[in-house]
Amino acid sequence: MPLTISSSIGEVSGLTYLGDGVYTAQLRSTTPGIAVITAALDGEAVDAMAEIELINRIPPTAPVLDPSDGKTVTGCAAPGSTVTVRDAEGNVIGTAVAGDDCRFEIELNPEQKPGSSITVTATDRDGNESIATELRSGLITLELGSASLHPGETQVATGHFFQPGEKVTAVLRSTPVTIGEETADANGDVRFEFAVPTDIELGEHSVTLSGDFSGDVRQTFQVTAAPGLAITGGQSMLLLGGAAILILAVGGALVVVARRRRASE
């Protein structure tokens, strides 16, 4: 006898007869709620009904975060989900509910020092928690080894507070010259060492470090002309000595001339 089973939510499949009037089937749904199950035999409704509560067990996607200064955390999470921030020890240091546009902003208490590790999760209305997104707090900074250099000399650029494993590109400007790409280490640090081009124009120039997540940071330095050949102390004495000898020689000539004049008189 043909039997069909229907549900008010989702889809019924895999109907199997086990014998002795027993059937099994699978009910699949992506929508939570109360599913009303009905059956029909040879097209005629059977006086039997069942209700099954379908519970959402699908966690929301992990929050997408913006760079954080350690005072606030902002980003995007499933609308209506509760966003929770925890410190490295697992302590809750801030919560907020994501808006309809997915955005959230959380003030951290206590504030986190630069380089501190925090994790952020989103929990939906059914209690499902997302995978945690990890973030190192602190906005990126850049240090240059020298404030002023001559063409051909070596400059060192060190970036801090990038995300561990983040690809960072360094560019020398005014006329853009790509210095290279490095990967931030476990502490979020990255280092570039390069020679200032010998044909670079004199004046102010800059180094920019750029990360896909952390953004850009820029620092300037001066390029000045290399000094000319200096006159050493020994050379100065020789020049002075030569001048003295010349004066003595001239003086001697004057004495000779004077004596000759007196003799003729």
pLDDT tens across 146-178, in order?
999 999 999 999 999 999 999 999 999 988 999
The CATH number corresponding to 141-223 among 2.60.40.1930, 1.20.1070.10, 3.40.50.1780, 2.60.40.10 equals 2.60.40.1930
H/E stretch holding 94: strand 92-97
Nearest to 207 by CA among 167, 164, 154: 154
* Residue 23 confidence (pLDDT): 83
| pLDDT of 236 strictly over 80 | no
CB 171 within 8 A of CB 210: yes
Residue 134's pLDDT band, with cuts at 50, 70 and 90, is very high
The CATH number corresponding to 64-136 among 2.60.40.10, 3.40.50.300, 3.40.50.720, 1.10.150.120 equals 2.60.40.10
The CATH number corresponding to 3-54 among 3.40.50.1220, 2.60.40.10, 1.20.1090.10, 3.40.640.10 equals 2.60.40.10
* Residue 32 confidence (pLDDT): 84
Poorest-confidence range of 31-45, 93-107, 218-232, 248-262?
Answer: 248-262
Reported pTM: 0.70
Structure tokens at 57: 């067990």
* Residue 146 confidence (pLDDT): 98
C-alpha neighbours within 13 Å on the C-beta side of residue 39: 15
Give yes or no on whether 3-54 and 141-223 have one common fold. yes
Domain coordinates in residue numbering, the chain: 3-54, 64-136, 141-223
Burial class (CB in 10 A: 0-12, 13-18, 19+), 63: buried
Q: pLDDT, tens digit, for every residue of 51-75? A: 888 888 899 999 999 999 999 999 9
The span from the CA of 135 to the CA of 157, in Å, is 24
H/E stretch holding 260: helix 233-264
